[in-house]
């Protein structure tokens, strides 16, 4: 079926399957890998985008149901290659962390600040309750939201650029801008022509001795290139 969307200001029309999720359409069909796939159950918020201006977890939305909507991803926050006030604040306040959860957090923040231009710290924490990050204590994130709010209203000037001195100076991480624009790639974001995918099958038994493995059904499945098993007697891989 055909789904027509306005994504980051550009009209697109793509063929989607009935059960295809919006996050997969954005990442796999449109190449917008700044939107991350985390829990796939709507808990972590890594896949958050704006749908008609509202923060939406794109792993919980069918692509077909978003037909006719306006979708903004983290790539759409950037204007002419320059960081938006929200992205700039996350960089300057060291709220990027590892960069995986930050895109979803910033999209939620964009919705928050469109509703409440001067939220309190408690309001920020409450709003971001649905965005989880395992590498942060959230303090920097809260500071970044306050900074973004001031930047959007013109009450906070850009931070001075480092003069080259590192000792005793706070230096914003050089890799952060690309992460905040959704440009840097994690392993799951890499797509190469003819790329094969690996799937790991684990034993359903927690404590068992594997006597033998019959991989014939797996080898005959459509699209399977090769099946590997690991003998319990030695650590090398072999193809059955």
pLDDT tens digits, residue range 8-30? 999 999 999 999 999 999 999 99
Q: Which residues lie across from 229 on neighbouring strands?
A: 238
Q: What is the mean pLDDT of residues 76-88?
A: 92
Q: Which residues lie across from 199 on neighbouring strands?
A: none
Q: Using one digit for the tens of pLDDT, what is the confidence trace for 41-59?
A: 999 999 999 999 999 999 9
- When mean pLDDT is compared across 92-106, 158-172, 182-196, the lowest value belongs to 158-172
Domain membership of residue 231 (yes or no) is no
Helices (H), the chain: 22-24, 85-92, 102-115, 121-127, 139-153, 176-180, 216-220
Domain that holds residue 67: 1-194
Q: Pairing relation of β-strands 48-51 and 54-57?
A: antiparallel
- Residue 114 and residue 136 in contact, taking contact as beta carbons nearer than 8 Å: no
- When mean pLDDT is compared across 118-122, 154-158, 203-207, the lowest value belongs to 154-158
Q: What is the CATH number of the domain that holds 9?
A: 1.10.150.120
Domain membership of residue 187 (yes or no) is yes
Distance in angstroms (rounded) separating the CA atoms of residues 88 and 94: 10
Reply yes or no on whether the pLDDT at 234 is more than 70: no
Domain membership of residue 222 (yes or no) is no
More confident position, 198 or 169: 198
Domain membership of residue 200 (yes or no) is no
Q: Using one digit for the tens of pLDDT, what is the confidence trace for 144-167?
A: 999 999 999 988 666 555 566 667
Count of domains for the chain:
1
């Amino acid at each position: 079926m055909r789904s027509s969307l306005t994504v980051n200001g550009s009209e697109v029309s793509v063929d989607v399957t009935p059960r295809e999720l919006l996050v997969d359409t954005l990442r796999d069909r449109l190449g917008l890998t700044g939107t991350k796939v985390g829990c796939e159950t709507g808990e972590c918020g890594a896949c958050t985008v704006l749908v008609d201006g509202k923060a939406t977890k794109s792993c919980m939305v069918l692509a077909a149901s978003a037909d006719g909507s306006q979708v903004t991803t983290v790539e759409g926050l950037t204007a002419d290659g320059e960081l938006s006030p929200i992205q700039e604040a996350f960089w300057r306040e060291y709220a990027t962390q590892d960069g995986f959860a930050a895109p979803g957090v910033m999209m939620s923040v964009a919705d928050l600040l469109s509703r409440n231009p001067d939220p309190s710290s408690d309001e920020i924490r409450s709003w971001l309750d649905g965005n989880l990050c395992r590498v942060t204590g959230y303090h920097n994130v809260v500071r970044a939201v306050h900074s973004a709010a001031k930047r959007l209203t013109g009450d906070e000037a850009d931070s001075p650029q480092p003069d080259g001195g590192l000792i005793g100076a706070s230096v914003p991480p050089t890799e952060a801008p690309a992460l905040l624009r959704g440009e840097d790639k994690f392993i799951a974001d890499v797509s190469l022509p003819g790329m094969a995918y690996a799937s790991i099958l684990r034993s359903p038994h927690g404590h068992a001795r594997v006597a033998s493995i019959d991989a014939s059904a797996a080898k005959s499945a459509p699209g399977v290139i090769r099946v590997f098993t690991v003998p319990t007697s030695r650590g090398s891989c072999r193809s059955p």
